[in-house]
Structure 1
């Protein structure tokens, strides 16, 4: 707008300074053309954005600021089991528990306040059918063209199967750790160089050393008596030689930290496929003195494109990068120009490259996507990273395959934990299998659900018979059933009956004395059965009888010796007087 002033009071001068009509029309035409180009580019970007969202395997949602779903991709439409027409407008509180909904509110509020994206490793949602699912979520703020917050973007991955697998693995490890800790005997795991790798609480009690002092730090020779050291070292070497003649069970002596000598029955065996051995150390000191002692202890023992937390990639049919987000750049350490056209073989070794080729080839032939595919890549500096990725086929408008796409996650730490957990499980499973005593576990009905190998041999049952079902009462003498049921019920109420002597019964009806210790099992706070061990004490009973008989014979001998001594004392006086009388009698006297 122009204003008249004294300096510009002439209307002709003012008109000369205003744009002409033809100039205005040209400017308007240029602006319209520029606006058209901007709209065209916006439409192209939206089409590319929608294409990516529609084809990835992960679920993508857009929520308004109240948490209502306003948009979603194909994968998200089927994740919770709802029909596509049911999802728009659905609030996140409908498919989460009150506790989870509160947690989600805090996360959304924090994102809104800070503008920073957040990642949630595990939270529980409820499907339409009422089933619980474990999800992993990346969320970030949605803004309009003027930069004002209008809602949230959410990328979701279903973690239910993986969480279930990890729980099973953890329970398995806990089982074998508990078995190792509750064998009833002092037990240690020995390395080839004689180092004590693991020790249970009984071994702590036996030797006086703590686990912290022993595990990975001292040799087992520290506790062996000097007179037995040469023999024990020889057996240790022979056991690790092919065809070695070392006995599996023998007696020896140890010296405790307080310098006390203890008699020990060692039962030692190599763990298959390793040079490590497991040693069960039964203290028979009190057994030789006709007294039995047992000590027990229990238990010790996881945004989309440039804005999403995960890396996204697209490659051609030869495996060359054609599109990727910034997380790929961050992870591999190359520049954007260097990554463009980079082939997958250039950032992984030959073994991993073959695995990736096989996966790409399978997806190309079948058209079926691959999820949770893992392999190792190396960044520009050669540092290895374990990744988990999805692979799906990319096709052009005519349906012709043109490459592959997927989402990549760094799972290096998880893989290390899973490997450690798996190795730990294998180690404790072998330990339980090689223990010389019966180890068992029952369900709440008293049916045996786990036994080690020695148990089947000791009681004469086969694995097929065990799998068909054996109740704990089947291996006890009939007269013991009432007491056993009482102790079992005590365990159900959280009480441990401690170490008890029973009459055990083999499959063929043979009765033998045994010591049994059991403890209740709880899973997620719910009683699930009992776990324990059984020791055959037939030899102990036999030795007690022999000792008692020897003591009786010794008492009789002592009594007889005392009586003979008393008779000698009496006879001595009589014979002495007679000798004196004879000295005063003539040889011809009738009494001489």
Structure 2
């Protein structure tokens, strides 16, 4: 402690002073002020502590790699990632021991180039790591050189779950696309304004368009009655979906197409309506067949009615003819009524022909009417 109260760190060197008889006479020494050195050492220790704290708490696996590829320092996250303890890793293992064969040569090349010219090697890339148990993990790596050294520091993020999710999503999208493209029904996605965002091949085939020529069209122009678009929007936005919504659309050449639409709303994360997606089924031919069936059923009913009428009418005629024939047998040909009774018989025969035609119609037309002279 100095006179002014300032504290100093000193380093002393002391030796014993003896007289001629070898008795201790005193001490002599050298005192050296090492305050600056001690302050520097303390600062260095604090810096190293801060560095170690940051290194340990980055949240990602982090290592320092030497020029010979040895891992000189590893944090706890890297221990978890690799399955090895720090004692097993530091100064004993190389990072190359954790790389799958397919990625090894590429990464070795980066390691060498980075030390020759840091800009010549990428600072971020993906690779696959093999842990202690042999599990392969997808890793995103970010690395850089430590200034003034041949050492590099690297942080590794395990993106295996993300990669698996991406792969599952791609597979799902591929299955959806295959299903969509193989569907015989027209499948579409539009935004709320009517812009066509996705159409499958069946849609193009149904309406007679090619992909290039339909991309700039709006859904509104495909309605036979433009007002039906607004009605459809009102229905689907009110209910959230429509099922077998019947509407008449039109092809590129203007031909009408009777369709059933089954569709749902597309919504953003905030719940707002983005557009519509659904399936369109052409029921034009189905409606024609149904109309033909209905007509056939009506005609069948009419035939049944005609057959019943003809049968009953024929019974009446047979009664009239029977009575007329009996009267003719008892009437003299010279009698004035004989000619009238004969005319009744002829008219009954003509009526019988008419009932035969009605019965023929009732039995699906198995009759023929034609002039014979």
TM-score, normalized by length of structure 2?
A: 0.69
Deviations 1:99-128 (A, max 9, x none): xxxxxxxxxxxxxxxxxxxxxxxxxxxxxx
Q: CA deviation at 1:495?
A: 6.1
Matched, 1:423 2:171: yes
Contact 1:369 1:391 (C-alpha < 8 Å) held by counterparts: no
Match in the other structure for 1:527: 273
CA–CA distance in 2 between the matches of 1:304 and 1:583? 134
CA–CA distance in 2 between the matches of 1:395 and 1:353? 25
Q: CA deviation at 1:448?
A: 1.7
| Pick aligned residue for 1:437 from 185, 190, 193 | 185
Match in the other structure for 1:255: none
Deviations 1:198-252 (A, max 9, x none): xxxxxxxxxxxxxxxxxxxxxxxxxxxxxxxxxxxxxxxxxxxxxxxxxxxxxxx
| Pick aligned residue for 2:248 from 503, 507, 516 | 503
Contact 1:369 1:392 (C-alpha < 8 Å) held by counterparts: no
Q: CA deviation at 1:454?
A: 1.8
Contact 1:437 1:454 (C-alpha < 8 Å) held by counterparts: yes
CA–CA distance in 2 between the matches of 1:481 and 1:566? 55
Match in the other structure for 2:65: 315
Aligned length: 311
Match in the other structure for 2:93: 342
CA–CA distance in 1 between the matches of 2:181 and 2:140? 34
Contact 2:65 2:71 (C-alpha < 8 Å) held by counterparts: yes
| Pick aligned residue for 2:152 from 401, 404, 410 | 404
Q: CA deviation at 1:407?
A: 0.9
Runs of 5+ consecutive residues of structure 1 not aligned to the other structure: 1-19, 54-302
Contact 2:241 2:263 (C-alpha < 8 Å) held by counterparts: yes
Q: CA deviation at 1:472?
A: 0.8
> Against the structure 1 CA distance between its residues 579 and 460, is the aligned structure 2 distance closer, same or farther, given a 3 Å change threshold?
closer
User: Aligned-pair RMSD on alpha carbons?
Assistant: 3.9
Matched, 1:470 2:217: yes
Q: CA deviation at 1:445?
A: 2.1
| Pick aligned residue for 2:162 from 398, 408, 414 | 414
Contact 1:494 1:520 (C-alpha < 8 Å) held by counterparts: no
Contact 2:118 2:145 (C-alpha < 8 Å) held by counterparts: no
Match in the other structure for 1:357: 108
CA–CA distance in 1 between the matches of 2:301 and 2:68? 95
Contact 1:319 1:403 (C-alpha < 8 Å) held by counterparts: no
> Against the structure 1 CA distance between its residues 362 and 542, is the aligned structure 2 distance closer, same or farther, given a 3 Å change threshold?
farther
Contact 1:377 1:386 (C-alpha < 8 Å) held by counterparts: yes
Match in the other structure for 1:540: 286
CA–CA distance in 1 between the matches of 2:308 and 2:217? 59
Q: CA deviation at 1:331?
A: 2.8
Q: CA deviation at 1:537?
A: 0.9
Q: CA deviation at 1:510?
A: 1.8
Match in the other structure for 1:328: 78
Matched, 1:484 2:229: yes
CA–CA distance in 2 between the matches of 1:437 and 1:359? 52
Structure with max Cα Rg: 2
Match in the other structure for 2:361: none
| Pick aligned residue for 2:305 from 559, 567, 573 | 559
Matched, 1:391 2:137: no
Q: CA deviation at 1:493?
A: 6.5
**SS of aligned partner of 1:304:** helix
Structure 1 stretch 528-537 or stretch 493-502: which is displaced more? 493-502
Q: CA deviation at 1:471?
A: 0.7
TM-score, normalized by length of structure 1?
A: 0.45
> Against the structure 1 CA distance between its residues 529 and 383, is the aligned structure 2 distance closer, same or farther, given a 3 Å change threshold?
closer
Q: CA deviation at 1:543?
A: 0.6
> Against the structure 1 CA distance between its residues 38 and 413, is the aligned structure 2 distance closer, same or farther, given a 3 Å change threshold?
farther
